[in-house]
């Protein structure tokens, strides 16, 4: 049925080639006009998963207990400490300027110069609770010395917002999530720091999600440049090896048409284009190149090798390669479409656009390329004198030799042994970030160096909060609830990755200590709910209502415990959430529901749990798509199992490489992995289907002749595209974004493994296993006799 449709489609397209060309190029022009409205930016809400308990907690309390876009700025003295008037005025200047940054939550700007950090002291008049350095900076040495003493005697500030040796201080700010625009926040914050009047006295170090994605946006021009250089390198390699202009320009034209259609449809759907998914776009463009090169290679074989008239050769090319081309596109699109089941908007958008992009290749390459080839009049003319085809033929000759000799019987067991060893390594793959710094940037990047500096001197730049929801007002003042907070904090601070914690209990014990002239022996909770309420009242004297917002709501019914982490690795978050759940189970609170987890790490933990639970399902569904596609095309369940072989090999090698290089399975890498499933089987479709096509034309042909013809025709296209595309992606290693460099290497490895699996493993399996969907009802004995005779001749 597919053969009939392919013949009808090819005849129609070539017969009406003018109209087909006009329609495709006209549609491309219309789509190109929509690109004037393309939105290239990272949207925070795209990375927040839906229907997860952590996200529900975060969304409910993010405006009070802290959001997921917190920025930390370290002001460090170049010499001595920060307790000088110019440096303290710099802290004040930055604090005030940060309140003007786009999308900032002014109630979540905390520093020495804010009213939220207070000094609690006892006097004959009672307890005094006054801001440390608000509204003015001390002007005298005595005032600065008093500030120094107040900082040292305040455990909620000393070591948390001011380094123990007083050489630096932290300024923290948070944003309203729905107003976050990374492209605005990054330059505004950098502008504030660059305008420092005391740059000779201090250094500034800044971290946080808005800053991280600001760096991604900062390198956008570089990313586009590398993509163009990589594209140019691939075209040059194609030109060098193909030696024809049509073999170089037609794949480029197909890729451009496909890209314009996909991006245009994305604009019409209202999707933004995240800079981080440029790598995914590059993979799909590479697939377009691959399909076009296969068509051109077959056209050259027919037109210039067998003397078929160009128009007829173009029609025959489309007909012969329609089946493997369609199978490859459906497998690619289906594999990445499985990611849409992951409840993360960014992945869902990438999945939809990726699937659409892949399917546009059916028009830009499978149809347009043969139609344009039908106008070729001159025979094959070499565009340059350098002939490197002998390199391709040398590899293909080795592949043929493996299939011809008894070496083919060793291919499967050797492959199984290697894959088994790699599976063992692949089990070390990390879900979530696998490095201490951000995996998006290099370890020696300014962002990661700043992060390492802050984490070394402070409790941690990453925060997570756990919420206590009470059934009644003032429940947080109960001694057992405050004692639960203290016990929970001590348990969590035993984890190496947790640098510290803070809660309402810390305020209560500190106020009580000050009632006894700062004696540390009295850092205890009140014995009753009433006493704890009075201690909190002392702290709130002269304070604004929102000064306790990060610890409790105004009714003291809901509160939080804030945990500071030194990294955001997947294993760190798994251990933390496990310990939190375990403590909650072991220490139940009557009338209080403890929920986890909000803050930036709460969101990341939710993403990791979703990826852990959904990635196996997504990969299994993608493999099922491959099997069902093969079943529909070849009407054989064995064909699906047969084509799973290259998919498993390429994926196992890739996962093992990711584990070896410390690349975690994250929200950024999952689309690449999903696309790789289709990437691992495309080449095999062309080579195996070429064998089937040969035997369908000549049922009496020697299977070895069919395999030989397939390797030197479809195999040449596979080798040509894999080598040129792999050479092109090597330029991604020059990127200032570590993620893109690693994904470029990963794609190159994937291409080469898929190609060599298709060239060496699949033909051997075809000849050894003799699948019925390829050979039909041919008598096996006759082929076996011919094979033994050929083997004897080759041995002789």
Least confident stretch, 66-80, 442-456, 602-616: 602-616
Q: Who contacts 656 (Cβ-Cβ below 8 Å, separation ≥6)?
A: 422, 423, 425, 426
Confidence (pLDDT) at 1: 63
pLDDT digits 0-9 by tens, 470-510: 989 989 999 999 999 999 999 999 998 898 899 999 888 88
| C-alpha of 759 from chain center | 30
Q: Is 698 exposed, middle or buried (0-12, 13-18, 19+ CB in 10 A)?
A: exposed
Confidence (pLDDT) at 378: 65
Cα–Cα dist 542/763, whole Å: 82
Q: Who contacts 299 (Cβ-Cβ below 8 Å, separation ≥6)?
A: 310, 313, 314, 317, 370, 373, 376
Show the tokens assigned to 192.
């504030």
pLDDT at 245 over 70: yes
pLDDT higher at 495 or 675: 495
Token pair 């099922």 in the structure block, residue: 624
Q: Is residue 796 very low, low, confident or very high in pLDDT (cuts 50, 70, 90)?
A: very low
Confidence (pLDDT) at 30: 93
pLDDT at 514 over 80: no
Confidence (pLDDT) at 545: 67
pLDDT higher at 789 or 86: 86
Mean pLDDT of 511-521: 74
Q: Is residue 253 very low, low, confident or very high in pLDDT (cuts 50, 70, 90)?
A: very high
Neighbours of 716 (CB within 10 A): 24
Cα–Cα dist 519/331, whole Å: 71
Nearest CA-CA partner of 368 in 717, 10, 736: 10
| C-alpha of 108 from chain center | 29
pLDDT digits 0-9 by tens, 338-354: 878 888 888 888 888 88
Between the alpha carbon of residue 750 and those of residues 176, 433, 664, the distances in Å are 41, 21, 17
pLDDT at 795 over 60: no
Confidence (pLDDT) at 662: 83
Mean pLDDT of 621-629: 83
Mean pLDDT of 374-388: 79
Confidence (pLDDT) at 124: 56
Q: Who contacts 306 (Cβ-Cβ below 8 Å, separation ≥6)?
A: none
Confidence (pLDDT) at 785: 45
Cα–Cα dist 185/369, whole Å: 45
Q: Check if the beta carbon of residue 769 is closer than 8 Å to that of residue 777.
A: no
Confidence (pLDDT) at 28: 93
Show the tokens assigned to 472.
């009644």
Token pair 């070539």 in the structure block, residue: 14
Mean pLDDT of 225-231: 87
Q: What share of the chain in percent tops pLDDT 90?
A: 26
DSSP 608-672: HHHHHHHHHHHHHHHHHHHHHHHHHHHS-HHHHHHHHHHHHHHHHHHHHHHHHHT--B-TTTHHH
Cα–Cα dist 487/579, whole Å: 13
Cα–Cα dist 138/132, whole Å: 10
Could you tell me the pTM of the whole model? 0.81
Nearest CA-CA partner of 736 in 217, 161, 100: 217
Q: Is residue 783 very low, low, confident or very high in pLDDT (cuts 50, 70, 90)?
A: very low
Mean per-residue pLDDT of the chain: 85
Confidence (pLDDT) at 93: 93
End-to-end CA distance of the chain: 45
Q: What share of the chain in percent tops pLDDT 70?
A: 94
Cα–Cα dist 90/82, whole Å: 10
């Amino acid at each position: 049925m597919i053969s009939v449709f392919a013949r009808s489609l090819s005849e129609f397209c070539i017969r009406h080639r003018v109209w087909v060309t006009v329609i495709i190029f006209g549609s491309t022009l219309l789509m190109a006009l929509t690109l004037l409205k393309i939105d290239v930016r990272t949207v925070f809400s795209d990375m927040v998963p839906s229907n997860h308990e952590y996200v529900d907690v975060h969304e409910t309390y993010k405006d009070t207990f802290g959001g997921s876009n917190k920025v930390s700025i370290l002001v460090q003295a170049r010499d001595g400490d920060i307790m000088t008037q110019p440096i303290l005025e710099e802290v004040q200047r930055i604090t005030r300027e940060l309140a003007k940054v786009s999308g900032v939550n002014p109630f979540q700007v905390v520093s020495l110069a804010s009213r939220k950090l207070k000094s609690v002291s006892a006097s004959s008049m009672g307890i005094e609770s006054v801001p440390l350095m608000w509204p003015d900076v001390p002007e005298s040495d005595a005032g600065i010395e008093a500030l120094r003493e107040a900082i040292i005697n305040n455990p909620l500030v000393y070591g948390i917002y001011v380094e123990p040796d007083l050489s630096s201080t932290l300024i923290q700010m948070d944003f309203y999530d729905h107003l976050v625009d990374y492209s605005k926040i990054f330059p505004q914050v950098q502008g504030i720091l660059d305008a420092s009047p005391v740059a000779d006295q201090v250094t500034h170090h800044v971290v946080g999600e808005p800053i991280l994605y600001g760096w991604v946006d900062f390198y956008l021009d570089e990313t586009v440049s590398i993509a163009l250089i990589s594209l140019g390198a691939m075209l040059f390699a194609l030109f060098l090896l193909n030696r024809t202009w049509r073999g170089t320009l037609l794949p480029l034209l197909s890729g451009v048409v496909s890209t314009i259609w996909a991006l245009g449809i994305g604009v019409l759907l209202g999707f933004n284009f995240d800079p981080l998914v440029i790598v995914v776009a590059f993979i799909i463009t590479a697939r377009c190149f691959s399909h076009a090169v296969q068509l051109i290679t077959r056209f050259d074989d027919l037109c210039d090798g067998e003397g078929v008239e160009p128009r007829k050769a173009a029609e025959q090319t489309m007909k012969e390669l329609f089946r493997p081309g369609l199978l490859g596109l459906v497998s690619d699109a289906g594999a990445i479409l499985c990611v849409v089941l992951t409840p993360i908007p960014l992945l869902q958008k990438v999945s939809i656009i990726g699937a659409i992009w892949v399917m546009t290749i059916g028009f830009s390459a499978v149809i347009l390329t043969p139609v344009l080839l039908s106008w070729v009049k001159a025979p094959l003319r070499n565009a340059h004198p350098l002939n490197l085809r002998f390199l391709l033929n040398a590899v293909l000759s080795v592949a043929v030799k493996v299939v011809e000799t008894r070496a083919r019987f060793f291919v499967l067991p050797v492959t199984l042994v290697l894959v088994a060893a790699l599976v063992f390594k692949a089990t070390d793959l990390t879900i979530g970030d696998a490095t201490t710094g951000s995996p998006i940037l290099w370890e020696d990047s300014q962002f990661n160096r700043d992060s390492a500096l802050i984490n070394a001197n402070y409790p941690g730049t990453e925060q997570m909060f756990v919420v206590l929801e009470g059934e009644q007002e003032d429940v947080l003042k109960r001694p057992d609830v405050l004692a639960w907070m203290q016990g929970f904090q001590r348990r969590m601070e035993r984890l190496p990755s947790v640098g510290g914690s803070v809660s309402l209990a810390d305020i209560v014990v500190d106020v009580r200590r000050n009632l006894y002239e700062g004696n540390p022996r009295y850092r205890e909770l009140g014995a009753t709910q009433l006493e704890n309420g009075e201690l909190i009242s002392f702290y709130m004297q002269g304070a604004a209502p929102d000064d306790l917002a990060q610890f409790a709501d105004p009714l003291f019914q809901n509160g939080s415990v804030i945990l500071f982490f030194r990294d955001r690795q997947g294993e760190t978050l798994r251990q933390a959430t496990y310990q939190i759940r375990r403590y909650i189970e072991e220490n139940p609170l009557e009338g209080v529901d403890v929920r986890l987890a909000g803050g930036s790490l709460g969101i990341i933990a939710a993403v990791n749990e979703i990826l852990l639970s959904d990635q196996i399902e997504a990969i299994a569904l993608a493999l099922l798509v491959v099997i069902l596609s093969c079943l529909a095309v070849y009407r054989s369940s064995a064909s699906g199992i047969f084509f799973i072989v290259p998919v498993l090999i390429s994926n196992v090698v890739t996962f093992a490489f990711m584990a070896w290089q410390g690349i975690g399975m994250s929200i950024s890498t999952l689309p690449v992995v999903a696309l790789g499933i289709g990437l691992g089987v495309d080449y095999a479709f062309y080579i195996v289907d070429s064998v089937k096509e040969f035997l369908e034309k000549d049922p009496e042909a020697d299977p070895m002749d069919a395999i030989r013809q397939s390797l030197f025709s479809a195999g040449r296209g596979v080798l040509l595209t894999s080598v040129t595309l792999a050479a092109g992606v090597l330029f991604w290693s020059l990127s200032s974004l570590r993620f893109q460099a690693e994904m470029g290497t990963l794609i190159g490895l994937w291409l080469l493994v898929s190609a060599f699996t298709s060239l060496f493993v699949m033909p051997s399996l075809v000849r050894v296993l003799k699948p019925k969907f390829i050979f039909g009802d041919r008598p096996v004995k006759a082929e076996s006799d011919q094979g033994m005779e050929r083997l004897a001749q080759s041995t002789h």
